[in-house]
Amino acid sequence: MLRRLRMSVRRKVMLLVLGTTVSALALSAMGLVIYDLRAYERQWTQDLYLQAEILARASAPALSFNDRKAATNDLSLIRVRPNVLSAALYTNDGERFATYVKAGEKAPQFPSAPGADGYRIEGNELDMFHRVVEAGEPLGTVYIRARYLPWDRVLDYLAILGLVMVASLALAGALSGWLQAGVTAPILEVARVAREVMQRRDYSLRAKKSSDDEIGQLVDAFNGMLAEAGRRAEALREADRRKDEFLATLAHELRNPLAPLRNALEILRSARVDPEMSRKALEMMERQLNQMVRLVDDLLDVSRITTGKLAVRKAVVDLRDAIHDSVETVRPFIEARRHALDLELPEGRIAVNGDQTRLAQVFANLLHNAAKYTEPGGRITLSVAVEAGNAVVRVRDTGIGLDQGAIGAIFDMFVQVDRSLTRAQAGLGVGLTLARRLVALHDGTITAFSAGAGKGSEFVVRLPLAEAPRQSEAPARPAPTGDPNARRILLADDNVDFANSLGQMLASRGHEVHIAYDGAEALAEADRFTPEIAFLDIGMPKVHGYEVARRLREKLTTSECLLVAVTGWGQEDDRRRAWEAGFDRHLVKPVDARDIEAIIKEL
């Protein structure tokens, strides 16, 4: 069976053609033979019956008048039928009256008495009896013995069938030869090229097209597929190369801050602690730590981009706030590189529908790039304008600029303009990719311009303005008591150290802080003092954070409470679950105190 399946297409087609031809011929021949055998018997017996009748009629007078000689003469008339072997006439009383034997035949065994009218087939011979009747008077019986050779006819048929089969075999052979040339050969050619491509990994190979029929289309499609496979292989190689470079950069970038951190630790550990020195060491540690946090954040964003899970949480925000945030973030770096920063912001509020944190990230990336790719002492300009329903933010620098060819690729993942950069803040090459994705999520565009290498570059972000700028603030909450900035805060975390230290920090800023170490306790505390903000761990004993959030949302007193999830899980899925449970914010551990302060300030 397997062997048969492995046969070539040509063989299969030939087998098909032959099989159909031969079986059709055999079937029709069989039908013909059966029909003819029946027709032969009918025809032959009818013919013989006629002969017998003629003999009977001719020999009736001879029988009547007892004339054996005449009877023998009459019988011999049958010699014109060479198939008749012998014949006889019997009188009414069963006596054999006259006989005939075909010339050359042996004297046959005649029946001793006439049988009943009719015929009987015995092997290759047929016996027939026929009554002789004259004027209603029975006179005797004619007996005829004839050759009966239907198999001769069958053999004739078989011979003809054999000839026809040979002819059809030859035809099928010719047909399969034609198929070989027209169908199989091009397919084999395609298969050969496919094999060669697999072996040599050379996607530039193409199969030759020899006809315009379906096979030709197949060849075209195959060549098109090869081209596509080639493009993909090239793209994969390129992506792979970029990822390798990215990993190398990443390792390098993550390794860089570790040496200063270790140095600072050594300084702090040394016996003679100079307060001034330890302060500097701590500042350095914080800087390096921030750098690492930024790298890891970028890394997380990279994973979100590649998995398509990057999402924004939109609200109507003032674009100027986002820009201020970004400037605050990048300012230390800009200053470190001694750049001058010009900000050109319009007076009024610029309302856009977006995620303030993400928008700040976009501009921070642009500013960071500008500072990075400009020689120290350069000038960076950030301007905002409203044009045709769009907010347009331009970030210009006097840096190394861009090649015209590089402008298109600059937004691709892991692409860096100057790979020879060896500066500490070389980055991961994901900033612009991230920026473009984030702007796209805000229904905006980002484009790059440059007059050429060394002539500075400009990045332009266009964001649609929000339709109706909203002036009113969030709904009123219970009025704060005493200090207008003091808040009632609930902290729930089963990590006692984390809860206590954060609690102390917040209490020291004048807030009313209640701490719980499990979910049930958190709910009880919330009932007692109606918090304005609740920082909830997710993986708490008794009642987990999601459930606590849901119950707080259901209660009238805490339904307006700002709920912040504090968790070690930063995946997009975890954020979504948090939002579904009713959380307003999601912080990933380790939590930066500044993030917490920013959230409290929002209220």
Partner 1 sequence: MITLRPWAFLAPVLLLAASFTADAQRLEATEPSVKAAFLYKFAAYIEWPPASFAASDAPFVIGVVDSEKVAVELEKIVASRRFGTHPVAVRRLKEDEPARGVHLLFVGQRAGEHLSSIVRAAQPQGSLVVTEGEHGLESGSAINFVVANDHVGFEVSTEAAERSGHRISSRMLAVARRVVKKGT
Residues that bind partner 1 (CB under 8 A): 57-58, 60-62, 64-67, 70, 91-93, 95, 134-138
In the bound state with partner 1, the residue whose beta carbon lies nearer, of 60 and 302, is 60
Coil, helix or strand for 67?
A: coil
- Smaller CB separation from partner 1, 78 or 562: 78
Considering the complex, what minimum distance in angstroms separates the CB of residue 137 from partner 1?
7
Closest separation between CB of residue 60 and partner 1, Å? 7
- Structure tokens, 38: 């029946």
Written as one letter, the residue type at 302 is: V
Q: What is the DSSP code string of 306-349?
A: HHT------EEEEHHHHHHHHHHHHHHHHHHTT-EEEEE--SS-
Query: CB of 65: closest distance to partner 1 in angstroms?
Result: 5
- Are 36 and 158 within 8 A, CB to CB? no
Q: Which residue's CB is nearer to partner 1, number 91 or number 290?
A: 91
Cα–Cα distance list, 299 to 240, 320, 321, 372, 592 (Å)? 17, 27, 25, 19, 18
Nearest approach, Cβ of residue 86 and partner 1 (Å)? 23
Can you say whether residue 456 is alpha, beta or left, with left for phi > 0 and alpha for psi between -120 and 50 degrees? left
Give the Cβ contact number of residue 597 at 10 Å: 13
Give the end-to-end CA distance of the chain in Å, rounded to a whole number: 79
Tabulate helix, strand, coil % of the chain (nearest 5).
55, 20, 30
Nearer to partner 1 by C-beta: 64 or 303?
A: 64
| Of residues 67 and 547, the one with the C-beta less far from partner 1 | 67
Task: Work out how close the CB of 92 gets to partner 1 at its nearest, in angstroms, rounded to a whole number.
Answer: 4
**CA dihedral sign, ordered 336, 433, 323, 594:** negative
Residue 107 Cβ, how far from partner 1 at the closest point, in Å? Answer: 23
Shortest CB 75 distance to partner 1, Å:
14
φ/ψ of residue 102, rounded to 5: -60, 140
Eight-class DSSP state of 465: B
Output the smallest distance, CB 98 to partner 1, in A: 12
Nearer to partner 1, 93 or 122 (CB): 93
> 114 or 531: whose CB is closer to partner 1?
114
Q: How far apart are CA 371 and CA 189, in angstroms?
A: 58
**Interhelix angle for 431-441 vs 275-307, to 10°?**
60
Considering beta carbons, is residue 138 or 216 the nearer one to partner 1?
A: 138
If the CB atoms of residues 136 and 482 are measured against partner 1, the closer one turns out to be: 136
Cβ nearer to partner 1, comparing 72 with 390: 72
The runs of H, that is alpha helices, within 65-149 are 68-76
Q: At what angle do helices 214-255 and 185-200 cross, to 10 degrees?
A: 10
- The least CB distance from residue 133 to partner 1, in Å, is 10
CB within 8 A of 315, min separation 6: which ones? 353, 354, 355, 356
Reduced 3-state DSSP string for 399-450: CCCCCHHHHHHCCCCCCCCCCCCCCCCCCCCCHHHHHHHHHHHCCCEEEEEE
- The CB-of-121 to partner 1 minimum distance in angstroms stands at 27
Please say which residue, 58 or 536, places its beta carbon nearer to partner 1.
Answer: 58
Using a 10 angstrom Cβ sphere, with 0-12 exposed, 13-18 middle and 19 or more buried, the burial of residue 477 is middle
Find the shortest distance in angstroms from Cβ 141 to partner 1.
12
